[in-house]
């Protein structure tokens, strides 16, 4: 399938952004949610900052102390056998050995980036949403935005020692905001809320991750008020021997087309290579799957997609469809933001919907 990658990619890089936390450096500006507001394209940018570390024998973890509301740093010796430091993103407990983590090596929050042309962005110097309270002590990650009427619902993973759940805020102007609490309990992430009611109900895709049984797959849930969710159903699973055999999750907020709801989702294989694919869901009942791509629409190929803090990742949290062109904003290698375009018709052909 023909995909145009913007030749000036990446469009936002960590070097472009000044750190907000004293003694920290910006290591990631990625996985941004997307909205159109007045004459601007807005990115809700995930910014990851890491404690500056000049000692190669140490590893540092960062978190917010919910009692003081201050960022704190904990230092680990790389030789400490109690911990596993093999994943650049996390510090794991070597005693538990169940794959769970104990700390993150960076802390993420959300800044706003604004653009008139959708390609050149200026990033605000301060956070728009910063971790608050005990459920966000390890940071907030991967925001998506659903515009419903004149309200923008922004929701993201709240990460803490208690788990990873989906937290929501709402805003009308990207300046003032109101908290809506945790809308999906742990472990859940990769939530996307459909931008309108369907047969009288709101719907959301989401991605539970279970301890006892079950793979990281996409579920669908319904709501009356966007705050409380239920009637949870399993929607779509992994595929053996394909690019999405490791984990899948919703990506961009679903796009309404004449053929169905187009969902640009992410799939990773067992070696954690993340690609972007497409699903088409029934317009009147999004729990019905009309089509699913066999191959990815976008796979890591360019240097900025293959190399970075966590390489071989393309990951979208938002796309805009205008004049039948899909404008895709996507995070690359947990490091930067990139931009691509393709024709809506081409995607529909690619997933065999004509």
Site of interaction with a second copy (CB under 8 A) = 97-102, 134-135, 138, 159-165, 181-188, 206, 208-217, 219, 221-225, 227-234, 237
Residue 97 Cβ, how far from a second copy at the closest point, in Å?
A: 8
Q: How far is CA 55 from CA 48, 52, 58, 79, in A?
A: 20, 9, 6, 13
CA-CA-CA-CA dihedral for 337, 342, 344, 345, to nearest 10: -160
Q: Which residues contact 348 (CB under 8 A, 6 or more apart)?
A: 257, 259, 262, 280, 354
Residue 233 Cβ, how far from a second copy at the closest point, in Å?
A: 7
Nearer to a second copy, 101 or 274 (CB): 101
Residue 204 Cβ, how far from a second copy at the closest point, in Å?
A: 10
- Conformation bin of residue 100: beta by default, left when phi > 0, alpha when psi is -120 to 50: beta
Of 214, 193, 322, 308, the C-alpha closest to 261 is: 193
Is-contact 326 342, C-beta < 8 A? yes
Whether the bond into 10 is cis, omega within 30 of 0: yes
Nearer to a second copy, 29 or 106 (CB): 106
Residue 206 Cβ, how far from a second copy at the closest point, in Å?
A: 7
Nearer to a second copy, 149 or 230 (CB): 230
Residue 214 Cβ, how far from a second copy at the closest point, in Å?
A: 3
Nearer to a second copy, 66 or 195 (CB): 66
Nearer to a second copy, 185 or 303 (CB): 185
Identify the burial level of 43 via C-beta atoms within 10 angstroms of its C-beta, where 0-12 means exposed, 13-18 middle and 19 or more buried. Answer: buried
- Cα angle at 346 between 39 and 32, to 5 degrees? 40
Query: Measured between alpha carbons, how far is 262 from 214 in angstroms, rounded to an integer?
Result: 25
Nearer to a second copy, 23 or 181 (CB): 181
At 344, list the tokens: 């809506």
Nearer to a second copy, 41 or 287 (CB): 287
Residue 267 Cβ, how far from a second copy at the closest point, in Å?
A: 17
Is-contact 336 270, C-beta < 8 A? no
Nearer to a second copy, 203 or 304 (CB): 203
Residue 194 Cβ, how far from a second copy at the closest point, in Å?
A: 15
Residue 89 Cβ, how far from a second copy at the closest point, in Å?
A: 11
Query: Measured between alpha carbons, how far is 105 from 49 in angstroms, rounded to an integer?
Result: 9
């Amino acid at each position: 399938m023909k995909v145009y990658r913007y030749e000036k990619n990446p469009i936002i890089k960590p070097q472009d952004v000044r750190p907000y936390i004293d003694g920290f450096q910006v290591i990631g500006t990625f996985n941004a949610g997307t909205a159109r507001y007045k004459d601007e394209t807005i990115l809700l940018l995930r910014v990851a900052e890491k404690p500056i570390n000049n000692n190669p024998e140490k590893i540092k973890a960062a978190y917010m102390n919910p009692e003081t509301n201050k960022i704190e740093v904990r230092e680990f010796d790389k030789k400490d056998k109690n911990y596993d430091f093999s994943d650049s993103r996390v510090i794991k407990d070597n005693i538990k050995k169940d794959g769970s983590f104990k700390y993150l090596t960076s802390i993420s929050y959300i800044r706003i980036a604004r653009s008139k042309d959708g390609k050149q962005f200026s990033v605000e110097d301060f956070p728009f949403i910063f971790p608050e309270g005990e459920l966000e002590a390890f940071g907030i990650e991967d925001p998506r935005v659903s515009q419903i009427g004149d309200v923008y619902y922004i929701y993201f993973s709240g990460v803490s020692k208690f788990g990873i759940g989906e937290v929501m805020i709402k805003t009308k102007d990207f300046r003032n905001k109101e908290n809506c609490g945790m809308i999906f309990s742990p472990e859940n992430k990769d939530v996307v809320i459909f931008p309108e009611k369907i047969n009288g109900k709101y719907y959301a895709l989401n991605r539970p991750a279970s301890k006892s049984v079950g793979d990281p797959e996409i579920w669908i849930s319904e709501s009356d008020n966007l705050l409380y969710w239920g009637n949870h159903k399993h929607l779509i699973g992994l595929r053996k021997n394909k690019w999405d055999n490791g984990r899948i999750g919703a990506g961009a907020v679903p796009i309404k087309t004449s053929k169905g709801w187009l969902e640009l989702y992410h799939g990773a294989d067992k070696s954690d290579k993340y690609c972007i694919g497409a699903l088409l869901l029934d317009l009147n009942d999004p729990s019905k799957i009309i089509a699913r791509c066999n191959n990815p629409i976008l796979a890591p190929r360019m240097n900025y997609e293959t190399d970075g803090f966590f390489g071989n990742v393309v990951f979208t949290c938002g796309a805009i469809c205008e004049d039948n062109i899909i404008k895709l904003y996507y995070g690359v290698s947990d490091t930067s933001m990139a931009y691509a375009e393709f024709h809506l018709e081409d995607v529909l052909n690619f997933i065999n919907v004509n």
